[in-house]
């Protein structure tokens, strides 16, 4: 399969997309990576979907990435008499450590870590921010609040603490079980939810090592305070706008999205924009014009990937949602303004040979109208680095590792191909030309650029840049 887009697409699998035929159709429509959401479904469900994705990969002959999304710590209140109560504006409401059934004056809060961390003046948001409580006082067993925005509160509704840094790991016991299961399957990327600090990333990396790429989901205000350190620690970043929009003012989310994307682009880390991108397509075969503009904005900013959640997992029109997103991306990437707008941000150079070659590729591609850049990569690093320069040409990532090929499915502009490594410079040129030809990226009178490391097969040895004219079989 030949891909023509640079911006990648992630689609969440769920009840609406759990057959081989549906998964193959989504890949043909443009999906590069599938997300398995561990907040829903059983391990058996996810194992079955994993197996079907790998069947589709074999059938279609194209690497497919798989992202496992951990649930993270979910904070919830206890239960109420009759299942719900109404809180009046201005009233006093208490959350405590007493497990008895709640009422309009108090409710059980089964999270002891909150009692010691929260301070007077901070806010508690209930049910995705529909109710807002301000803390009047707190001790080890009770939090007394005043209701600022009241309404109905029902059993087990979620709690958000926008101003409180909780002394808890981002990995719950459930997450650890899910992580162990995901690693056993062979998932390519793991997304860590509710990251608060760089140490959360370091904790999960201590468990996973180099088995998978780690994505930091940014959905808490505390993460923004440690933003640069989190980006540096993570392998990729997801702007998870749903919970971020609950814990922060809605008008701040677009600004934060721009800021996060810019920092990721500068540090050379893949960045994903997610949540509610085509939300109306859960129930409608077409998106709103505002949603189309939202996807387009992310593409103009040069993000690596955009993601569908419920639209593809449980919506009525999953294939239509993927098709529409593909069309939006293709339209934006065809706009002559997209490249200059995207190039307003540049990846920082740390002085390495790989960085120098990545920067050179962009200059050569602009001046010589290069049809494609072919990178030979055993770890994926050279393909990552070339991609983060956002050159105006496709990037082919040739790698002897199927795991690396699958991980590269997330990276802007890279068309990963599983291939045996080159044995000589001549073999390298031949394989690169053949790969470009198979992707329809060879044109008379226009060169390819080839990036590799000498000696071949040694990770981190990128030190060779070659310009190749396939039509004349000459190189310079």
Looking at 130, 160, 190, the residue that finishes a domain is: 160
Q: Does residue 186 lie within any of the structural domains? A: yes
How far is residue 221's CA from residue 408's CA, in Å, rounded to a whole number? 29
Q: Does residue 2 lie within any of the structural domains? A: no
Sign of CA dihedral 368, 371, 377, 380: positive
Same-domain check for residues 401 and 295:
no
Q: Does residue 425 lie within any of the structural domains? A: yes
Q: Does residue 368 lie within any of the structural domains? A: yes
With beta carbons less than 8 A apart as the criterion, state whether 154 and 98 touch: no
Q: Does residue 348 lie within any of the structural domains? A: no
* Residue 211, token pair as written in the block: 């088995």
Q: What is the DSSP letter of 245?
A: H
pTM, full prediction: 0.92
Same-domain check for residues 184 and 144:
no
CA proximity to 390, closest of 414, 367, 354, 417: 414
Neighbours of 103 (CB within 10 A): 12
pLDDT digits (tens, 9 = 90+) for 90-121: 999 999 999 999 999 999 999 999 999 999 99
Same-domain check for residues 210 and 327:
yes
* DSSP-based three-state secondary structure for 181: helix
With beta carbons less than 8 A apart as the criterion, state whether 188 and 65 touch: yes
Residue 414: which domain range?
353-475
Same-domain check for residues 374 and 316:
no
What's the confidence (pLDDT) of residue 472?
56
Q: What is the DSSP letter of 296?
A: H
**Tally of domains in the chain:** 3
User: What is the C-alpha radius of gyration for the chain, rounded to an integer number of angstroms?
Assistant: 24
Same-domain check for residues 243 and 210:
yes
Please identify every residue annotated as catalytic. 35, 76, 217, 275
What's the confidence (pLDDT) of residue 257?
97
* DSSP-based three-state secondary structure for 369: coil
With beta carbons less than 8 A apart as the criterion, state whether 117 and 152 touch: no
Q: What is the DSSP letter of 136?
A: E
Q: How far is CA 237 from CA 195, 219, 348, 410, in A?
A: 10, 11, 17, 11
Instruction: Spell out the long-range contacts of 285-288 with Cβ–Cβ below 8 A and sequence spacing 24 or more.
Output: 285/316, 285/317, 285/320, 286/320, 286/324, 287/321, 287/324
Same-domain check for residues 123 and 199:
no
CA distance from start to end of the chain: 31
pLDDT below 70 — which residues of the chain?
1-2, 457, 460-461, 471-476
How far is residue 288's CA from residue 286's CA, in Å, rounded to a whole number? 7
How far is residue 88's CA from residue 340's CA, in Å, rounded to a whole number? 53
How far is residue 246's CA from residue 307's CA, in Å, rounded to a whole number? 19
With beta carbons less than 8 A apart as the criterion, state whether 268 and 388 touch: yes
pLDDT digits (tens, 9 = 90+) for 332-388: 999 999 999 999 998 888 778 888 888 899 899 989 999 999 999 888 988 999 999
Same-domain check for residues 109 and 39:
no
How far is residue 391's CA from residue 381's CA, in Å, rounded to a whole number? 16
> SS3 sequence, 74-96?
CCECCCEHHHEEEECCCCEEEEE
What's the confidence (pLDDT) of residue 247?
86
Same-domain check for residues 370 and 470:
yes
Instruction: Spell out the long-range contacts of 286-289 with Cβ–Cβ below 8 A and sequence spacing 24 or more.
Output: 286/320, 286/324, 287/321, 287/324
Q: Does residue 251 lie within any of the structural domains? A: yes
Same-domain check for residues 359 and 460:
yes
Question: Is residue 457 left, alpha or beta, with left meaning phi > 0 and alpha meaning psi from -120 to 50?
Answer: left
CATH number at residue 253: 3.20.20.60
What's the confidence (pLDDT) of residue 2?
67
Q: Does residue 344 lie within any of the structural domains? A: no
With beta carbons less than 8 A apart as the criterion, state whether 322 and 30 touch: yes
Same-domain check for residues 378 and 255:
no
Question: Is residue 390 left, alpha or beta, with left meaning phi > 0 and alpha meaning psi from -120 to 50?
Answer: left
Block residue for tokens 């002394």: 167
Block residue for tokens 């719900």: 84
How far is residue 12's CA from residue 309's CA, in Å, rounded to a whole number? 5
How far is residue 103's CA from residue 333's CA, in Å, rounded to a whole number? 55
How far is residue 52's CA from residue 19's CA, in Å, rounded to a whole number? 7
How far is residue 97's CA from residue 95's CA, in Å, rounded to a whole number? 7
Q: What's the angle, vertex CA 260, arms to CA 229 and CA 246, rounded to 5? A: 105
Q: Does residue 128 lie within any of the structural domains? A: yes
CATH number at residue 465: 3.40.1380.20
Q: Strand pairing partners for 131? A: 126
Residue-by-residue DSSP string for 242-270: HHHHHHS-TTHHHHHHHHHHHHHHHHT--
């Amino acid at each position: 399969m030949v891909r023509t887009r640079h911006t990648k697409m992630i689609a969440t699998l769920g009840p609406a997309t759990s057959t081989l035929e549906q998964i193959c159709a989504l890949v043909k429509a443009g999906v590069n990576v599938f997300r398995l959401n561990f907040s829903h479904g059983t391990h058996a469900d996810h194992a079955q979907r994993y197996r079907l994705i790998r069947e589709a990969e074999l059938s279609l002959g194209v690497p497919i990435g798989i992202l496992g999304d951990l649930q993270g710590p979910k904070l919830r209140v206890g239960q109420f008499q009759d299942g719900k109560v109404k809180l009046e504006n201005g009233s006093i409401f208490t959350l405590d450590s007493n497990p008895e059934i709640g009422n309009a004056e108090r409710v059980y809060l089964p999270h002891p870590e909150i009692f010691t961390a929260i301070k007077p003046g901070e806010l508690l948001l209930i049910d995705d921010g529909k109710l807002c409580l301000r803390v009047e006082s707190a001790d080890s067993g009770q939090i007394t609040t005043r209701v600022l925005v009241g309404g109905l509160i029902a059993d087990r509704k979620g709690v958000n603490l926008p101003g409180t840094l909780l002394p808890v790991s981002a990995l719950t016991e459930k997450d650890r079980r899910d992580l162990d299961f995901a690693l056993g399957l062979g998932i390519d990327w793991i997304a860590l939810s509710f990251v608060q600090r760089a140490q959360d990333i370091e904790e999960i990396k201590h468990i996973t090592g180099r088995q998978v790429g780690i994505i930091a989901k940014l959905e808490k205000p505390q993460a923004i305070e440690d933003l640069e350190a989190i980006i540096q620690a993570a392998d990729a970043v997801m702007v998870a706008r749903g919970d971020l929009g609950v814990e922060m003012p809605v008008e701040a989310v677009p600004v934060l999205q721009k800021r996060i994307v810019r920092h990721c682009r500068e540090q050379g880390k893949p960045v994903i924009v997610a949540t509610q991108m085509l939300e109306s397509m859960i129930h409608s075969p077409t998106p709103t014009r505002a949603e189309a503009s939202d996807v387009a904005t992310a593409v103009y900013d040069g993000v690596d990937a955009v993601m569908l959640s419920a639209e593809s997992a449980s919506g009525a029109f999953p294939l239509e949602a993927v098709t529409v997103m593909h069309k939006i991306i293709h339209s934006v990437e065809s706009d002559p303004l997209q490249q200059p707008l995207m190039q307003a941000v540049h990846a920082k150079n740390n002085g390495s040979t790989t960085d120098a070659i990545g920067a050179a590729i962009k200059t050569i591609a602009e001046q010589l109208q290069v049809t494609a850049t072919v990178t030979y990569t055993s770890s994926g690093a050279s393909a990552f680095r070339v991609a983060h320069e956002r050159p105006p040409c496709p990037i082919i990532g040739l790698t002897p590792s199927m795991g690396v090929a699958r991980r590269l499915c997330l990276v802007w502009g890279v068309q990963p191909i599983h291939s045996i490594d080159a044995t000589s410079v001549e073999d390298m040129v031949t394989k690169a030309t053949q790969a470009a030809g198979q992707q329809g990226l060879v044109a008379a009178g226009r060169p390819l650029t080839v990036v590799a490391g000498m000696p071949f097969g040694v990770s981190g040895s990128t030190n060779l840049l070659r310009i190749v004219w396939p039509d004349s079989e000459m190189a310079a």
